[in-house]
Amino acid sequence: MKKIFVLSFISVGYFLNAQSLSNSPYATYGIGDVKYDNTIETSSMGGISTAYISDFTSNFNFGNPANNNNFELTSIRLEATNENNYFKTNYNNTKSTKHSTYLSNIAIAFPVSSKVKMGFLYQPYSSKSYDIIHTETLGDGTIEGNRFKGNGTLNTAQTAISYKINSEFSVGARANYYFGSLYDLNELTYSTAELINGYETKNSIKNFNFTLGTSYQKLNTRTDKKFTLGATATFGNTSNMTNEYINSTYYYSGVDVKAGETIIDQKNTTSNNLLPLQASVGVGYGSENEWFLSGQIDYKKGETISYFGNTFAFKDSYRISAGGWYLPNYNNFRNYFSRVVYRYGAFYEKGGIELYGNSINKFGISAGVMLPFKNSNITRMSGLEIAVELGKRGTLKNNLINQNFVNLKIGFNFADKWFRKSLYN
């Protein structure tokens, strides 16, 4: 296990240096392509977390910080994601693909006491990475060219704390800090013109908000069946996003080197509704250490954001998720696959983007496994986590873009009684 632990940290160095996040062309709007939740445990179960309390002592839940009643060990998680996107549009029957691999989650969590648990997490929250060139010949023979380019990443760092009120009720809170820069450029040029007209938007983001959570779980000790309810709310933006917009004409004297620039219009604005109100409710049912199934509804209030000198209004959106896990027999040490945790899930998301009367919706299915290390048992469930997510986003209507995706995730969860002094040798 020590060799695997060292190898994983070498991998972290590689992914940090090669961090390049792929995303959809719909990332041009707003703060980019939001990575709903990069944790393997959550995404392999369709995104459920609000009413999910792990049966095992090694899993810390950041989605709903109240759901950590059973967490007893120090846990370190390192995870990476490989995204594979396949795009198609009816406009000129165009097809394209895009792939990327990046570090998607670093987390450490530990118990402070039997009632108080704490965790720290870093992961990318959203990204922009696109460069699209479109040309068209007009009626008079003039060639019109449009270039759409964007890049940047918005990251999040989180601190979560959980408090167990009694055997059934728990509460939790999470502080979320978002930081990063996002850049968009739209260039218009004609074959008969010497200058390019560029519309440039730069967003510098430092934002802070809070997530509150609560959970209730009732265990029937005679049947080992359990019923779970959970809810979260995210609110309280405490800082602004600075937006700089420039409309200018220029030409290039080298690769991406502007010359002869003339400013036509320039605006600087701030926005404090970058990350609006979000809420989630969930319900779950299962059998202790055997299986669990949960359903969840997430709501996100629409927001307005500055984009190329204008405002773009996002609609209210929601997401419906269902998923769970199955463990055949954790006491069967003769059959390794009887001790593997199998996960499954599905989701449907009504997106906040609406173009030409079409909502840009998303749906998918997911599956995954937690392969325990050889010496792991039910009280110290450390291992290799693998998940796959398949789905679709967008539409072919009105020459819009249909996106199919296959996301692969892999990571390690190291859990043990680290950093805690033993009373007896």
- The predicted pLDDT at position 13 comes to 39
- The predicted pLDDT at position 21 comes to 65
Termini Cα distance of the chain: 22
Give the helix, strand, coil percentages of the chain, each rounded to 5.
Answer: 10, 60, 30
- The predicted pLDDT at position 210 comes to 93
Question: pLDDT per residue over 372-419, tens digit each?
Answer: 987 666 667 788 999 999 999 998 888 888 999 999 999 999 888 765
- The predicted pLDDT at position 409 comes to 96
Q: Who contacts 358 (Cβ-Cβ below 8 Å, separation ≥6)?
A: 395, 397, 398, 400
- The predicted pLDDT at position 272 comes to 64
- The predicted pLDDT at position 417 comes to 77
Low-confidence stretches of the chain (pLDDT < 50) are 1-18, 421-425
- The predicted pLDDT at position 148 comes to 84
Instruction: State how far the alpha carbon of 156 is from the alpha carbons of 36, 179, 188, 270, in Å.
Output: 12, 6, 34, 20
- The predicted pLDDT at position 354 comes to 84
Q: How many degrees, rounded to 5, is the angle at CA 231 between CA 175 and CA 103? A: 50
- The predicted pLDDT at position 292 comes to 97
- The predicted pLDDT at position 16 comes to 40
Q: pTM value?
A: 0.86
- The predicted pLDDT at position 351 comes to 86
- The predicted pLDDT at position 72 comes to 92
Q: How far apart are CA 181 and CA 36, in angstroms?
A: 19
Question: pLDDT per residue over 138-158, tens digit each?
Answer: 888 899 988 888 888 889 999
